[in-house]
Amino acid sequence: MKLSAKGRYGLAAMTQLAMNYHAGGPVTIIKISERLGISKIYLEQVFSLLKRAKLVRSIKGSQGGYQLAREPERITAYDILAAIELALSETTAPAFDKLPALDEALAKTIYEPLDTAIRESLSSTTLAELTAAAERENREEVMMFYI
């Protein structure tokens, strides 16, 4: 499943907020876009979706920025992607007016189990786990450098 740039940016941006969660203060979009190496203007659009989904809080004005709306342990990858990737959380609609039985069968045997599997997989990983994994990978990279 190939996720869109927006989806990937959302996940990555949230890890940056998570890494700052203890420190307390807000992080600016400019900082995040520089760290990730992506467009600041585009990232703003991603944050507007994250905010609408109440996953982040914003502080306007000078010294402002963004913060997680709750602990990284209570935000899942599904929360983030559902806020951004519409097609992922939307379900497949009936398509064959002449054969309602076929639409029903498709929904029951394929579409619904698929949606459940996606939701279970993505909601089993928290932002805290993702961030911890990234920090571990980073330590391993540094180790490799010294060998």
The residue ranges that bind DNA (CB under 7 A) are 4-6, 28-30, 38-39, 41-42, 44-45, 47-48, 51, 58-66, 86-87
Site for its own copies in 15-44 (CB under 8 A): 15, 35-38
Please identify, using beta-carbon distances, which residue of 48 and 124 lies nearer to its own copies. 124
Q: What is the closest distance, in whole angstroms, from the C-beta atom of residue 124 to its own copies in the complex?
A: 7
Give the one residue of 97, 143, 145, 147 binding its own copies; rule: CB under 8 A. Answer: 97
8 Å CB contact between 47 and 66: yes
Q: What is the closest distance, in whole angstroms, from the C-beta atom of residue 114 to its own copies in the complex?
A: 5
Please identify, using beta-carbon distances, which residue of 32 and 77 lies nearer to DNA. 32
Q: b/e string for 92-107 if b means 16 or more Cβ within 10 A?
A: eeeeeeeeeeebeebb
What is the rounded radius of gyration, in angstroms, for the C-alpha atoms of the chain? 19
